[in-house]
């Protein structure tokens, strides 16, 4: 199980060192939350993360799925994704999936095709089809859906476990917090933890996730 920590550009140099020191594997650059979205600045953030020994996920989340409008979004993906280990693009941004996949693959990086529902966990057939569509694009499908019951959590994890390829399974919200550790047992390859303020509902603190990974998956 790889642990990723989403960061904005606030106090980036200090926080990236803290992420590495506390045991994370990956930093997710949430460029949609950056104050400075110039390509050169984002490239510098990637370099700083790499210098700390961290892998990098490049994310410029669309407003429709919890992000913010970034005028140069396409340019960031085209120029920065080749420097990264992963690039995350929403399934709903279909016109950008292939270009982002091609950009991140230039140096061996992987595509993450994400789907978010902040209100509920859709029916099983929708979960299954979203996973399969992301996989058909040649990416790692990522399902992040709101859990309103423990049944929602179990449905997400069990549907995900039936799909035998890399995927990321997240049940958001307080009820879904267990998925951020248990997901690995169901085939989820990356979990997301917080450093201070959480950027998604239900994220656990990085220190706790590192300890729980050691406890359960050593």
User: In this structure, are residues 27 and 49 in contact, taking their beta carbons and an 8 Å threshold?
Assistant: yes
Determine whether the annotation assigns residue 28 to a binding site. yes
Determine whether the annotation assigns residue 155 to a binding site. no
Tokens 């650059």: give the residue: 29
Domain spanning 2-119+185-217: which superfamily? Aldolase class I (3.20.20.70)
Instruction: Give the confidence band of 171 by pLDDT, cuts at 50, 70, 90.
Output: very high
Determine whether the annotation assigns residue 180 to a binding site. yes
Q: How far is CA 53 from CA 13, 14, 23, 50, 173, in A?
A: 14, 15, 11, 5, 30
**What's residue 199's pLDDT?**
65
Q: What is the C-alpha separation between 147 and 107, in angstroms, rounded?
A: 36
Q: Where are the domains of the chain?
A: 2-119+185-217
Determine whether the annotation assigns residue 17 to a binding site. no
Q: Please give the model's pTM, rounded to 2 decimal places.
A: 0.94
Instruction: Give the confidence band of 197 by pLDDT, cuts at 50, 70, 90.
Output: confident
- Measured at the CA of 1, the angle between CA 144 and CA 82, to 5 degrees, comes to 75
Determine whether the annotation assigns residue 47 to a binding site. no
Instruction: Give the confidence band of 1 by pLDDT, cuts at 50, 70, 90.
Output: very high
Give the model confidence (pLDDT) of 38-64 as tens digits: 999 999 999 999 999 999 999 999 999
Q: What is the C-alpha separation between 81 and 20, in angstroms, rounded?
A: 21
Residues classed as catalytic: 116, 142
Per-residue pLDDT at 196 exceeds 90: no
Determine whether the annotation assigns residue 203 to a binding site. yes
């Amino acid at each position: 199980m790889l642990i990723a920590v989403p960061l904005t550009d606030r106090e980036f140099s200090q926080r990236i060192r803290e992420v590495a020191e506390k045991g994370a594997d990956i930093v997710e650059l949430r460029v949609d939350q950056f104050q400075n979205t110039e390509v050169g600045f984002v490239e510098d953030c990637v370099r700083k993360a790499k210098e700390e020994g961290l892998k990098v996920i490049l994310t410029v989340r669309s407003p429709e799925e919890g992000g913010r409008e970034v005028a140069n979004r396409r340019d960031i993906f085209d120029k920065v994704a080749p420097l990264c280990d992963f690039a995350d693009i929403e399934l709903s941004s279909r016109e950008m999936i292939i270009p982002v996949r091609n950009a991140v693959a230039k140096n061996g990086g992987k595509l993450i095709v994400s789907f978010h529902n902040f209100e509920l966990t859709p029916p099983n057939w929708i979960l299954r089809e979203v996973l399969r569509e992301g996989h058909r694009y040649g990416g790692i499908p990522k399902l992040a859906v709101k859990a309103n019951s423990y049944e929602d959590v179990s449905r997400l994890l069990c549907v995900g476990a039936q799909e035998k390829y890399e995927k990321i399974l997240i049940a958001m919200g307080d009820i879904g917090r267990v998925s951020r550790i248990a997901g690995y047992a169901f085939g989820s390859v990356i979990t997301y933890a917080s450093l201070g303020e959480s950027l998604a509902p239900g994220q656990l603190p990085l220190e706790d996730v590192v300890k729980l990974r050691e406890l359960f998956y050593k």
